[in-house]
Structure 1
Amino acid sequence: MPRYSADFIKAMPKSDLHLHLDGSLRLSSLIEMAKRTHTTLPSQSVDGLKQLVFKDKYQNLGEYLHCFQYTCAVLRDPENLEQAAYELALDNQAEGVNYIEVRFAPQLLIDLSRGIDFDQIMHAVNNGLKRAQDEYNRTEVVLSGNKPPFGYGIINCAMRMFGDKGFSPYYTNLFQLMRDFAPMDVIKLAAMELVRASVRLRDECAMPIVGLDLAGQESGYPASKFKEVYEYAHQHFMLKTLHAGEAYGAESVFEAITECYADRIGHGYSMFIPDMIHSPDITDKAAYIRKLASYIADKRIAIEVCLTSNLQTNPQLTDIRQHQFKAMLDNRMATVICTDNRLVSNTTVCNEYQLALDNFDIPLKRLKDMVAYGFKKSFFPGSYVEKRQYAKTCLDYFDRVAKQYGFI
């Protein structure tokens, strides 16, 4: 198994296609933002927050998700939101990441009582990302052609479920306004409003909202319930990803593809676990998994792989080598290495690549394929021709770096 140094991993071009804004703040900035918005945190120090909230290991998914109540609270503020987006782009640029797709749920941050609406939230995030992009792309190393330029897209997340109070001001108000509707109908209406607003801003303001995601509790809230929402995205040329095969099995991934036209799958590791298939109609679970994996590989539907995050939220995963990433590689699937949440998982893109390369058999050609999928399977905010050219620029740079480090 070839050994890849940390220096090589940092130098090679990279992307992050599964990157939650509200899970990727700088801890020092979180404390600063909390003071600005008079938000109470469990601690006022970085070390204290690492001890009490943002840990290296979590007991379960619930404890992991507990972190987001603090980040979302401070992000219901346009100034904080722009700062978070700007710093996230800078942090990626500092470790050699050329392209990011930043995802978040705008409806978790809307607070109409304070005049914070969907459009204001989206402009704040875009302003921060664009400022970081423009600054980077004006540097001599990019202008001279020595490094690829930096790019980004925004993915908006619809929520699979939310409660009638406390989830966010927007969702609490929505339940109050629609108290005679069934909860699932309210949830679906919120998702439909999100996708319509996303298409409008993309088309009217040329905002790089490049995709739709479905996040939140997977079990009990199947993708099929959001079929109409994804049909609207599909009919309006909005690309689609879904969290699937994270806390539910192969059926969830199958639904994401067949009911919601998924172009990519977020996580996907549970689809290889037979015990997570629950339908009585699937009698040969192993055959079902084989056929699904082969179909996904053949269609080049990319899997957004988040190794550290999966280790932290699944107690049964005690060793990274148990991760189904190996099954994805064995089935020749298009896999893209991602962070999920840089703060909550205490990771970086370089760390995730190191984890993958140190524990799985990935020769240089396969590594280049993985890097390539990060650009070719991106929801790039330009034409297909422009995306191909950008991917070629990044992959030519990969060859230069590989040669510099003696791999070629």
Structure 2
Amino acid sequence: MTEEDFILPDGVDARRLPKVLLHDHLDGGLRPNTIVELAEEIDFELPESDPELLAKWFRDSADSGSLPSYLATFSVTVGVMQTAQALRRIAREAVVDLAADGVIYAELRWAPEQHLGRGLTLGEAVDAVAEGIAQGIADVEATGGWIRAQQILCAMRQAHRSDEIAELVVERYDSHLVPGGVCGFDLAGPEAGFPAADHAAAFDYCAEEFVPVTVHAGEADGLDSIESAVLDARALRLGHGIRIADDIELHDEDADGTFAQLGDLAEWVKNRRIALEIAPTSNLQTGGVPSLAAHPFNLLYELGFAVTVNTDNRLMSSTTASLELARLANEFDYDLDDLEEFQFAACEAAFLPVEDRDRLADRVADGFDEARI
């Protein structure tokens, strides 16, 4: 990436803008040099030992057009994330890197069940990430910056531990106001063939305990996946969710300006403000869309859906929150008002108390006002 990649159509550097990030995988955002160093400590074999070549390997391997192939790269990152020391370091570095990119709030998601290979318990793994996030926040504040970050715990949909992870989320949810605390539950992993309905008990428990839920749905599978996420999981947000466009029928513009007919599911997602955690570059890599120009992001935005802009996996997609904004702005000719709306939508959907969401929106507004000067 070059400096020009960050420049918006109006000449503003996207890194100057305050950003709210709802969908960023902890195990998808490691620094390549950190992977190399951690691998050496535990004698873990890497496909490349040079950090630059390793970064290229991740990029090339993820750019496959297949979600299962994309997910296969995580065997490397997860492989070096099996100790408390490694989890603390990676979480701290993630917070520092996000803050350097202008992110002021991030919900970092990860699946604790995948990090028990060297003796950690689920609770110890979560504690280590919380400590790393807190350290990262302190590092940012020490240099005059500001960021807030929380954890979302994922259950893997192809596994059988969702009830246990839901219990862990509920147990730790009272920490969601503490830096690095757990703020929600997610279902991740291969989407096709693993509907949210298979994990109904976990979602019922979260609902009974008033814990917010987001679900990966509508990325590699269609409307049935989204419907299951909405009805069976009571999801407040959809991870990606771009296949909701399949429930929208376009036609010639009517006299009143209407150009689309929404199906019942699309109407529900739109009208209930179920936020779409969209990660454009990742959607291209996993084959969700053939090109950025063909991405339904702009259509969904024009129709009034709660669209948010996310990174998904910064390492695999070789991206940042600023790059995602710049790519969208240059493709669809968005101005600062549009980009600000995406941040407001993310503030509205954040798994925070309403007062905190309002304060976060105020920070966004102040930062965009400064960028307009």
Map of 1:128 onto structure 2: 132
The answer as to 2:157 corresponding to 1:157 is no
The answer as to 2:24 corresponding to 1:32 is no
CA contact (8 A) 1:293 1:331 kept: no
Q: Aligned partners of 1:387, 1:233: CA distance in 2, in Å? A: 21
Q: Aligned partners of 1:307, 1:224: CA distance in 2, in Å? A: 27
The answer as to 2:18 corresponding to 1:21 is no
Task: Give the secondary-structure state (helix, strand or coil) at the position aligned to 1:218.
Answer: coil
Which residue among 52, 68, 78 is the counterpart of 2:84? 78
Aligned AA (1:128): G
Shift in CA distance, 317/387, structure 1 to aligned 2, threshold 3 Å: closer
Map of 1:321 onto structure 2: 293
Map of 1:87 onto structure 2: 93
CA contact (8 A) 1:4 1:357 kept: no
Map of 2:351 onto structure 1: 379
CA contact (8 A) 1:271 1:289 kept: no
Q: C-alpha displacement at 1:235, in angstroms?
A: 1.7
The answer as to 2:168 corresponding to 1:197 is yes
Q: Aligned partners of 1:394, 1:138: CA distance in 2, in Å? A: 21
Shift in CA distance, 51/367, structure 1 to aligned 2, threshold 3 Å: closer
Q: Aligned partners of 1:344, 1:52: CA distance in 2, in Å? A: 9
Map of 1:283 onto structure 2: none
Map of 2:257 onto structure 1: none
Aligned AA (2:293): R
Which residue among 345, 358, 364 is the counterpart of 1:394? 364
Task: Give the secondary-structure state (helix, strand or coil) at the position aligned to 2:106.
Answer: strand
Q: C-alpha displacement at 1:305, in angstroms?
A: 0.7
Aligned AA (2:204): E
CA contact (8 A) 1:219 1:247 kept: yes
Task: Give the secondary-structure state (helix, strand or coil) at the position aligned to 1:64.
Answer: helix
Q: Aligned partners of 2:116, 2:347: CA distance in 1, in Å? A: 31
Shift in CA distance, 82/58, structure 1 to aligned 2, threshold 3 Å: same
Which residue among 1, 9, 16 is the counterpart of 1:3? 9
CA contact (8 A) 1:251 1:271 kept: no
Aligned AA (1:85): A
Map of 1:117 onto structure 2: 121
Q: C-alpha displacement at 1:395, in angstroms?
A: 1.8
Aligned AA (2:362): K
Q: C-alpha displacement at 1:361, in angstroms?
A: 4.2
Map of 2:195 onto structure 1: 222
CA contact (8 A) 2:39 2:46 kept: yes
CA contact (8 A) 2:67 2:190 kept: no
Greater shift in the superposed pair: 11-20 or 41-50:
41-50
Which residue among 105, 108, 114 is the counterpart of 1:108? 114
The answer as to 2:249 corresponding to 1:244 is no
Task: Give the secondary-structure state (helix, strand or coil) at the position aligned to 1:210.
Answer: strand
Which residue among 221, 234, 245 is the counterpart of 2:207? 234
Aligned AA (2:274): I
Q: Aligned partners of 1:6, 1:92: CA distance in 2, in Å? A: 19
- Taking structure 2 as the reference length, the TM-score comes to 0.88
Q: Aligned partners of 1:208, 1:40: CA distance in 2, in Å? A: 32
The answer as to 2:311 corresponding to 1:343 is no
The answer as to 2:308 corresponding to 1:308 is no
Shift in CA distance, 324/79, structure 1 to aligned 2, threshold 3 Å: same
CA contact (8 A) 1:309 1:340 kept: yes
Map of 1:60 onto structure 2: 66
Q: Aligned partners of 1:123, 1:288: CA distance in 2, in Å? A: 47
Shift in CA distance, 44/345, structure 1 to aligned 2, threshold 3 Å: same
Map of 1:253 onto structure 2: 226
Task: Give the secondary-structure state (helix, strand or coil) at the position aligned to 2:155.
Answer: strand
Greater shift in the superposed pair: 293-302 or 130-139:
130-139
**Number of paired residues?**
353
Shift in CA distance, 373/204, structure 1 to aligned 2, threshold 3 Å: closer
Q: Aligned partners of 2:68, 2:225: CA distance in 1, in Å? A: 20
CA contact (8 A) 1:199 1:238 kept: yes
Q: Deviations over 1:50-88 (max 9, x none)?
A: 444432732522321121001111001111111111111
Q: Aligned partners of 1:343, 1:361: CA distance in 2, in Å? A: 26
Aligned AA (2:340): K
Map of 1:264 onto structure 2: 237
- Taking structure 1 as the reference length, the TM-score comes to 0.81
Aligned AA (1:250): L
The answer as to 2:176 corresponding to 1:212 is no
Q: Which runs of 5+ in 2 are unaligned?
A: 1-7, 249-259
Q: Aligned partners of 1:47, 1:151: CA distance in 2, in Å? A: 30
Aligned AA (2:42): T
Q: C-alpha displacement at 1:136, in angstroms?
A: 2.1
Task: Give the secondary-structure state (helix, strand or coil) at the position aligned to 1:103.
Answer: strand
CA contact (8 A) 2:310 2:324 kept: yes
Shift in CA distance, 355/196, structure 1 to aligned 2, threshold 3 Å: same
Task: Give the secondary-structure state (helix, strand or coil) at the position aligned to 1:320.
Answer: coil
Task: Give the secondary-structure state (helix, strand or coil) at the position aligned to 2:158.
Answer: coil
Greater shift in the superposed pair: 15-24 or 57-66:
57-66
Q: Which one has a bigger Cα radius of gyration?
A: 1
Q: Aligned partners of 1:204, 1:298: CA distance in 2, in Å? A: 31
